[in-house]
Amino acid sequence: MANVFDKAAELGIVPVLSIPDVSHAVPLVKGLAKGGLPLIEVMFRTDAALDSIREIAEKCPEICVGAGTVVTIEQADAAMAAGAKFLVSPGFDPELVKHCVEKGYDILPGIATPTEIQNAVKFGLKYLKFFPAPTGGGTEALDMFSGPYPGVKFVVTGGMGADTIAEYLDVPCVAAVGGTFPAPMKMILDDDTDGIAEVTRRAVAEVFGFRIAHIGINSENEAEAKKTAETLARIFGLEVIPHDPCYFAGSLVEVMKGQGRGRLGHIAIGTRDIVRAAKYVERAGIALDWENAKYYPDGSLMCVFFRDDIAGFAFHLLAGPQKPKSDR
């Protein structure tokens, strides 16, 4: 059954924030959404938490609002009554989880050990919060958890930042990275919606690692394509790789044997996570040409074009190869 944490996984980041006063709630979530994150976990760490959840649920129905630092059943019920769509607790409390499951609330309990994971999965939970991730063993612990608990996905939190997003999202069992990093407290207090949007946007960029993977050049015919590929290969010290329907000059340039897609050619945008990136560009209003998408032999998505050209160029997303760590 679909679960609200599937949405968090689609975004790749969960903003986990304290709101000092209810007046800051709407400017904050507007900034997050503008930066690409229409979701927030409001921590029960200030007196304004419950009112902030209610305010966001009422005034910004497009935002998926949840409650964090939920440590009692009373908080869970109050948050859901105020309009929360999910609950997050820092640790694993079987009574709290049982209550939430019975009530049909989406709960993300915190775990840090295999014992807690084992107890949590008994409740049929697919998503757990790994907190605090760095002291709990970081990416190495996550790799080890995925052996005995292959179906479990983790939202990783505790001291995360834009600089750790890529490292954690590259671990297959990680659904999302959470934390306070998408909105610095000073910007929350200043109701700096645009500032928050910019910080959020930079964090979101880390989720995808977008970069130019190659340029596609069109040709009149096969002979011209071969000549172009050989010229480029010679200049840049690359190998000519014959393909169908093109010649590659290394991985830099794809020379089409005729008029390929795009009046002026095409631009391939590499990303570390093409499935999540495809959903992201669709949310941004870009229609994708799924009928002509290409897949690897294992069925995973390799490449999908934007349906419409931009400034005469066709664009497609391309899975991997990953951006080198030094470029991140």
User: Which amino acids are annotated catalytic?
Assistant: 41, 129
Instruction: Decide if residue 90 touches ligand 3PG (CB under 6 A).
Output: yes
Closest approach, Cβ 160 to ligand 3PG, in A, equals 5
Chosen residue from 50, 160, 278, 281 binding ligand 3PG by CB under 6 A: 160
Chosen residue from 52, 75, 89, 157 binding ligand 3PG by CB under 6 A: 157
Which residue number, 165 or 249, has a Cβ lying nearer to ligand 3PG? 165
SS3 content of the chain, % helix, strand, coil (to 5): 40, 25, 40
Chosen residue from 12, 35, 109, 158 binding ligand 3PG by CB under 6 A: 158
Interface with ligand 3PG (CB under 6 A), residue total 10
Site for ligand 3PG in 162-201 (CB under 6 A): 178-180
DSSP 138-170: HHHHHHHHTTT-TT-EEEE-SS--TTTHHHHHT
Chosen residue from 44, 127, 131, 145 binding ligand 3PG by CB under 6 A: 131
Which residue number, 161 or 321, has a Cβ lying nearer to ligand 3PG? 161
Closest approach, Cβ 298 to ligand 3PG, in A, equals 34
**Spatial separation of the C-alpha atoms in residues 229 and 256, rounded to whole Å:** 9
DSSP state of 323: P
Closest approach, Cβ 159 to ligand 3PG, in A, equals 5
Count of CB atoms situated within 10 Å of the CB of 311 = 9
Which residue number, 16 or 165, has a Cβ lying nearer to ligand 3PG? 16
Torsion of CA 147, 153, 158, 159, to 10 degrees: 90
Which residue number, 31 or 158, has a Cβ lying nearer to ligand 3PG? 158
* Residue 299, Cβ density class (10 Å: 0-12 exposed, 13-18 middle, ≥19 buried): exposed
Where does residue 179 fall: left (phi above 0), alpha (psi -120 to 50 degrees), or beta otherwise?
left
**Spatial separation of the C-alpha atoms in residues 262 and 312, rounded to whole Å:** 6
Closest approach, Cβ 194 to ligand 3PG, in A, equals 22
Instruction: Decide if residue 91 touches ligand 3PG (CB under 6 A).
Output: no
Which residue number, 25 or 162, has a Cβ lying nearer to ligand 3PG? 162
Collapsed DSSP state (helix, strand, coil) of residue 43: strand
Residues that bind ligand 3PG (CB under 6 A): 16, 90, 131, 157-160, 178-180
